[in-house]
Chain A
Amino acid sequence: MLQEFSSQKDTANGYAQLAADVLARAKACGATEADIVVADGETLSVQVRVGAVDRLTKAREKRLGLRVFIGKRSATTSTSDFTQDSLKRLVADTCTLARAVVEDDVSGLPDATQMATEQPSLDLYDETVVNTETQIDWAKRGEAAAFAADPRVTNSEGAEFDSSSGRVVLANSHGFVGSYKSSNFSLSVSPIATESGTGAMQRDAWYEVQRKFARLASAESIGQEAARRAIRRLGARKVATKRVPVVFDQETAGSLLANLCSAVSGYGLYKRASFLLDKMGQVIASDLMTLYDDGRMVGGLGSRPFDGEGLATRKNTIVERGVLKSYLLDTYSGKKLGLPSTGNASRSVGESPSVGPTNFYLVPGVKSPQEIIGSVKEGLYVTELIGFGINMVTGDYSRGACGYWIENGELAYPVEEITIAGNLKQMLKDIEVIGNDLVFRGRIASPTLKISEMMVAGN
């Protein structure tokens, strides 16, 4: 068995006390308001490749982030060194930095009256400790299942089992103190398939992430799905350039939602850097689309009892039948837009808050993915997108894609080295069918989607 690091044992109470001390010191240094985040975590990560352990990583770490306001000026700092000397220096540095920047009328903590008053348990933490041997076993079984699934699976980028758990404590000068623990367990398998004639290789992967170890699907089922995805890419070719309907699978549809999520984020909007500027209350998408961001989903991968500023999280309707109903806001971006926070402050230790989704998802429709593919005479089924060809200011969209060509409602053959292009403003309106297959594999989740037409560039 591996030993634990001994010197960093602490509790929520210990961190709350530490936070109170630092806040008091900041006040003594001239801060008019301040907040502090303390986070710690443990991770164990095991990578197996071709049946043997490739890499084993274990760590325990902690970090503290401080934000101070001196009137309307503010600065943010962070450190991993929790000694008295280090924290004294941190507070002094932060106050010095804050005095050096310009006054920003809108800056400040949320009002004291807005702070979360209850912190419901959202079932985000599993105390199960998965030991090293078990993690190795899971990864080995996942990879072995991929190799066993088909003789054309000839190689592997490996299988990885990660477990992590940690605690977050947030406190501010209004007297708010919040704390929660969370955990994650994940298995991913990345097999490589080889085409017998040409020797051409294709890689794909499958994965699952859960807050609870017991909820993970079997290693074998994840490995088999990974193999199925790699195998079906063999023999991929380019297609001729043409406009066709495009069906996005769950994963790639999720990436479209992530683009939409950025576009409704308060920071992009007040900087006038979003293609959804000034669209509140207007139709921005197909009337089939209803989209929620729900921070209180029990056991959700994006759930948290309070946001990065200590406001209660909640369920927000972002789009209802195609009409934009809400942005995602924290206090600062909300004030810039004349709106209250939506409880979406996201906070990495050491940075001032930004906006992030909690569990951001599209309400499923009734059609199965097979029915959606079946509705296409000629078109593209996209299973992977690469590159960064998205302009958030204009909505212009052009990305590398691979997937399958659809002929007469059937997946005819795999395709690669093509791009799909359009403009997100139009693409959202051109969503013609929404699938019934919503599954949460991360904070953003979408069922299969069909867009009526996009430009596919190939030969």
Chain B
Amino acid sequence: MFEPVQLAKFGVTELEAQHALDRLNVRDVDYADLYFESRTSESVSMEEGIVKRAAKSVSQGVGVRATAGEKTGFAYSDELTRKDLEIAADTARYIANSPKGDSPVPVPTQRRPTRDLYPIERAKAEVATADRVALLNEIDAEARRYDPRIKNVMASFNTEYKVVVVATSDGALVGDIQPLSRLQITCIAEDRDNRQVGSFGGGGRVGFEYYRADNRHLSYAREAAREAILNLSAVDAPAGVMPVVLAGGWPGILLHEAIGHGLEADFNRKKTSAFSSLVGKRVASDVCTIVDDGTLPFRRGSLNMDDEGTPTTCTTLIEKGILRRYITDKLNARLMGIPLTGNGRRENYQSVVLPRMTNTFMLAGESDPQDIIRSVKKGLYAVSFGGGQVDITNGKFVFSASEAYLIEDGRITTPVKGATLIGNGPEILTKVSMVGHDLKLDNGIGTCGKDGQSVPVGVGLPTLKIEEITVGGTQR
């Protein structure tokens, strides 16, 4: 059963936390919080057939924040004494520069997150290094067995075990234990002078047993090897505007870049997003409904509560093509007078809270994926992607395919080399003409960067067809 997280884990009493919050409670401060975090990260990695490296890191600290109007004062410390809390509080409240407030900070009422999305796994987070080593050895053997042209296999297994407690000036004292793990495999294939790379991976808020279940780790190894071998026969990608069919799952990175970032409340409050003032307007075709859902069990982007102690939710961003809602943290929800969606996230105690995505995906449509491909005379079918990026202000986004094929006369034909796709966020989804009934979430490898902060996220997509998008290949 779920045990509420105690501040005692950090050697801090409730009274000390209360005292620090009280110190932050000057007149012009609207909100303040303390974020205690302890994180243990472990990794093992292999290359050239041997597990060469093992690493472990431990960090612990507190982030202290006060907001006043649009201003945020923030300090952090890796020492957790009463004195350090006080100094951090004095730094954070500096932005308010006003005398002591009239009303006292409410006594925090201990409460627990309303749900437990990643139970069981917690107990199993501790796994002997030898077992991890064995896992990687089996992966290496499997990838090389797939094809003798696989000349190197690089694999890494990373786990993170994070304990957080948030104490807020609005009376919450709430904690969570957030396990996270990821297995990542890269294969190099060589055929004479032709060398190619293939990658695959997966994970989530899951324990070690997840990777061995149904020999999942071996299927990852075969996928990475398959992509590398496939790319040996890939031809140069085409250049120009054409129809593109995206496969389900990880290609959902399209939504993350084209739509998701532009709907984060901070950019819209500041009116620096291409989506500012588009709520209620059409930004996608009516076959598109897109949600951000932090409540899916065991997913990489899921959280019982966000980093301000707000329970995560499933937020409908776009409903049948109409923009419905931005994703918010407390500061931006308050300043904009819009609902709190539980998307206030931070990389660690050293970073400030920003509105961030959790798991962002498009709901299934009605088309048969085969029909979608058959409907394209000449275009591109993109199955897997590397990273993507967006310019929030002008809405232009890119994402780069790592496995793609030509579609000719309704049939998937030749594999093509990776190419970057570029489009305009507020426009691209209006060009989605067909959405498959095959919604798939990604395997749990996504990491989103914003303002120098990385947080784990998920994406998902059914097979879909974009009538036209610019493909950045080299061939006419």
Contacts and interface: CB of A to CB of B under 8 A. Distances in A.
B159 to A, nearest CB: 13
Contacts of A81: 58, 60, 78
Nearest to A193: B393
Nearest to B473: A421
A394 B195 contact: yes
B350 interface: yes
A412 interface: no
Interface stretch (B300-308, B420-428, B431-439): B420-428
Interface string B1-18: 000000000000000000
A112 interface: no
Interface in B121-143: 128-130, 133
A399 B398 contact: yes
B53 A75 contact: yes
B54 A97 contact: yes
A6 interface: yes
B69 to A, nearest CB: 8
B133 A102 contact: yes
Contacts of B75: 57-59
A400 B422 contact: yes
B57 A52 contact: no
B240 A80 contact: no
Contact of B57 (A53, A101, A350, A417): A350
A76 B130 CA distance: 16
A417 B424 contact: yes
B83 A396 contact: no
A78 B272 contact: no
Contacts of B470: 238, 417-419, 457-459
B71 A55 contact: yes
A6 B51 CA distance: 42
B94 A56 contact: yes
Interface centre among A62, A77, A101, A155 (most CB of B within 10 A): A101
A386 B391 contact: yes
A387 B237 CA distance: 17
B94 A97 contact: no
Contact of A5 (B71, B84, B390): B84
Contacts of B419: 389, 398, 419, 421
Contacts of B186: 273
A371 interface: no
B59 interface: yes
B389 A6 contact: no
B162 interface: no
A335 B120 CA distance: 45
B53 A76 contact: yes
Interface in A247-272: 271-272
Interface centre among B50, B241, B472 (most CB of A within 10 A): B472
A203 B197 contact: no
B195 A398 contact: no
Contact of B394 (A100, A236, A238, A394): A236
B10 to A, nearest CB: 12
Given A101-B133, A272-B195, A389 B472 contact: yes
B394 A455 contact: no
Given A54-B72, A200-B394, A350-B57, A389 B400 contact: yes
Contacts of B389: 386-388, 400
A457 B398 CA distance: 13
A449 interface: no
The size class of the interface chain A forms with chain B is 35 or more
A418 B391 CA distance: 13
A416 to B, nearest CB: 6
Contact of B95 (A56, A80, A352): A56
A150 interface: no
Interface in A392-419: 393-394, 396, 398-400, 402, 416-419
Contacts of B77: 5, 59-61
Given A272-B188, A389-B398, A394-B196, A457 B87 contact: no
Nearest to B469: A417
Nearest to B86: A3
Interface string A92-107: 0110111011111001
B393 A78 contact: no
Contacts of B129: 96-97, 100-101
Nearest to B72: A55
Interface in A214-233: 233
Contacts of A420: 472
A352 B44 CA distance: 12
Nearest to B422: A400
A157 interface: yes
Contacts of B225: none
B127 to A, nearest CB: 11
A7 interface: yes
Contacts of B392: 203
Nearest to A387: B398
Nearest to B350: A59
A72 B243 CA distance: 54
Nearest to A86: B58
B212 interface: no
Given A6-B87, A458-B470, A98 B54 contact: yes
Interface in A1-54: 2-8, 49, 52-54
A420 B398 CA distance: 12
A97 B398 contact: no
Contact of A157 (B76, B270, B352, B387): B270
Interface centre among B54, B79, B424 (most CB of A within 10 A): B54
Contact of A101 (B44, B47, B48, B391): B44
A67 to B, nearest CB: 9
Given A236-B394, A417-B424, A393 B196 contact: yes
Across the A-B interface, the 10 shortest Cβ-Cβ residue pairs: A419-B472, A387-B398, A400-B398, A100-B129, A388-B387, A389-B420, A203-B393, A389-B400, A457-B239, A80-B78
19 contacts: A2-B91, A56-B91, A75-B54, A78-B58, A80-B59, A200-B394, A202-B394, A238-B470, A241-B476, A273-B152, A386-B389, A386-B396, A388-B400, A391-B417, A391-B418, A396-B418, A399-B472, A418-B470, A419-B472
Interface of A: 2-8, 49, 52-63, 74-81, 86, 90, 93-94, 96-98, 100-104, 107, 132, 155-157, 192, 200-203, 233, 236, 238, 241, 271-273, 277, 350-352, 386-389, 391, 393-394, 396, 398-400, 402, 416-423, 455, 457-459
Given A157-B270, A417-B424, 18 more contacts: A3-B90, A8-B79, A49-B270, A62-B78, A90-B58, A101-B53, A101-B133, A241-B240, A273-B188, A386-B389, A388-B387, A391-B197, A398-B474, A419-B422, A419-B471, A423-B474, A455-B474, A458-B241
Interface of B: 44, 47-48, 50-61, 70-79, 81, 83-84, 87, 90-91, 94-95, 128-130, 133, 151-152, 154, 186, 188, 190, 195-197, 237, 239-241, 270-272, 274, 350, 352, 386-394, 396-400, 417-420, 422-424, 470-476
